[in-house]
Amino acid sequence: MSDFKSLGVPKWLADSLNAMKITKPTEIQKHCIPEILSGKDCIGGAKTGSGKTIAFAAPMLSRWSEDPSGMFGLILTPTRELAMQIAEQFTALGSSMNIRVCICVGGEDIVKQAIELERKPHFIIATPGRLAHHVLNGGDQVVKGLKRVKFLVLDEADILLTNTFSSDLVRCVSALPPKDKRQNLLFTATMTDQVKQLQKNGSKPCFSYQVETVDNIAIPSTLKIDYLLVPEHVKEAYLYQILSSEDYQSKSAIVFVNRTATAEILRRTLKSLDIRVASLHSQMPQQERTNSLHRFRASAARVLIATDVASRGLDIPVVQLVVNYDIPANPDTFIHRSGRTARAGRKGEALSFVTPKDVERIHAIEERINKKMEEFTGVHDTAVIRKALSKVTTAKRESIMSMERENFGEQRRVQLLKKSSNNGNISKKSYRR
């Protein structure tokens, strides 16, 4: 099966895919599209950049085009940016069929979303929290529309099935037809026990496919993985020295951090040092988050400082370097971060800054990926001290002072306190990200 029509996709959709320069199905698309078209539930596991979105979008759009009316499919995903990216693909693919797509995420006008839902869009792409609000507070037309949905997709299912999303996810799914009256599609780069358990609990045939890799995890073979031992208090200086060095000054990079405050400090610090930088984290207004992604994709910003809101699924075509400025607690998070580079057969590099407190986490990551990291030799301590330390320290101090003057994080804290008064205790995770 060398093209999409041979997989059972109608001509109009094959033409739309061709117009988007998508002509040859990937492995997960070859295996999953025919099975979904046959009416089966599906669990698909594949490395990042393997075409998972088309693997569920193509069969859903194929079936929808046979009777294009009413709410047909619901796609749930953990982040706003990923929801918008999926919506863009559905809109582009279905434009010739006058498709109506509703994006239902936090940070956008909730009244406008409610109006769009009342108009019965064909496909809803949503984050669980915002859709759960509409399920609870929406009108009769929204409730009736959701009860007619034919497809449910959980994209990045391993994240959606964690406790972070559990209550909202239950509320969203409860508004849909029973699981045996709809098709259920789960896609992920990490096949967790929770994902596998859903397959066992299914009430009808379920097709499961996982793209095989050398060690059965989602790390591309073209990815170079290395580490750099760095003193905690001068990490910013090392980062600046690397990004401005001859080897890396023209390369695009994503720098992952564990906290929003760290992301903001680094953005301001690097900007004052004339690095073209943008940031992406949960304390930014949605429009700023969208603008940051557009700037990075268009190469207006060379460096993106991000929390793990950017580690999943986002289609950023060319990223040459990923820096784990902070080491994640979960080795699978390292895999997803690293998956932002070395996509579609291209070479890439994932560099991890390691302080003494990170050693155990690095060992856990190496065990998970079954590979030892190499020591990074592209920067020397003397060069950092001589060239970067003084001006980076000054820039960092000024960045922190400006954040204090602006009460950075105060608005988020107030929002969480309001949410706590309505729903119970504040999650530490939600405050940090």
State the total domains in the chain. 2
Edge-to-edge strand list for the sheet holding 321-324: 277-280, 303-306, 253-256, 321-324, 348-354, 223-229, 374-375
DSSP state of 384: I
CB atoms within 10 A of CB 359: 13
Give how far the C-alpha of residue 2 lies from the chain's centroid of Cα atoms, to the nearest Å: 29
Residue 418 lies in a domain: no
Considering the domain architecture, whether residues 204 and 231 belong to the same structural domain is answered as: no
Considering the domain architecture, whether residues 199 and 253 belong to the same structural domain is answered as: no
CATH code of the domain containing 12: 3.40.50.300
Tell me the CA distances in angstroms from 363 to 187, 367, 383, 414, one per residue in order.
28, 6, 28, 38
Considering the domain architecture, whether residues 202 and 231 belong to the same structural domain is answered as: no
Residue 428 lies in a domain: no
Distance separating the N- and C-terminal Cα atoms of the chain: 43
Residue 432 lies in a domain: no
Q: Which residues contact residue 368 at a Cβ distance below 8 angstroms, ignoring those fewer than 6 apart?
A: 217, 331, 332, 334, 335
Q: Which domain range does residue 302 map to? A: 223-408
Query: Comparing C-alpha atoms, which of 322, 319, 304 is closest to residue 376?
Result: 322
Query: Comparing C-alpha atoms, which of 282, 263, 234 is closest to residue 129?
Result: 282
Considering the domain architecture, whether residues 163 and 296 belong to the same structural domain is answered as: no
Considering the domain architecture, whether residues 205 and 229 belong to the same structural domain is answered as: no
CB atoms within 10 A of CB 166: 13
Considering the domain architecture, whether residues 150 and 287 belong to the same structural domain is answered as: no
Please report the pLDDT score of residue 214 as a whole number.
Answer: 33
Residue 332 lies in a domain: yes
Positive or negative: CA dihedral 246, 251, 257, 262: positive
Query: Comparing C-alpha atoms, which of 318, 281, 277, 282 is closest to residue 300?
Result: 277
What is d(CA 303, CA 182) in angstroms, rounded to the nearest whole number? 42
Residue 217 lies in a domain: no
Query: Comparing C-alpha atoms, which of 340, 315, 344 is closest to residue 50?
Result: 344
Please report the pLDDT score of residue 61 as a whole number.
Answer: 98
pTM of the model: 0.80
> How many residues can be counted in the chain?
433
* pLDDT tens sequence for the chain (433 residues): 579 999 999 999 999 999 999 999 999 999 999 999 999 999 998 876 788 999 999 999 999 999 998 999 999 999 999 999 999 999 999 999 999 999 999 989 999 999 999 999 999 999 999 999 999 998 888 989 999 999 999 999 988 998 989 999 999 999 999 999 999 999 987 777 888 788 777 667 899 988 743 335 657 788 999 999 999 999 999 999 999 999 999 999 999 999 999 999 999 999 999 999 999 998 898 899 999 999 999 999 999 999 988 777 677 878 999 999 999 999 989 988 988 898 777 899 999 999 999 999 999 999 998 899 999 999 988 878 888 999 999 999 999 999 999 998 765 555 545 554 444 443 334 333 3
The phi and psi torsions of 404 (rounded to 5 degrees) equal: -65, -40
Residue 416 lies in a domain: no
Considering the domain architecture, whether residues 235 and 184 belong to the same structural domain is answered as: no
Considering the domain architecture, whether residues 205 and 232 belong to the same structural domain is answered as: no
Considering the domain architecture, whether residues 181 and 258 belong to the same structural domain is answered as: no
DSSP state of 106: T
Considering the domain architecture, whether residues 45 and 166 belong to the same structural domain is answered as: yes
Q: In b/e form, how buried is each residue of 361-380, taking b as 16+ CB within 10 angstroms?
A: bbebbbebbeeebeebeebe
Considering the domain architecture, whether residues 100 and 193 belong to the same structural domain is answered as: yes
Considering the domain architecture, whether residues 192 and 228 belong to the same structural domain is answered as: no
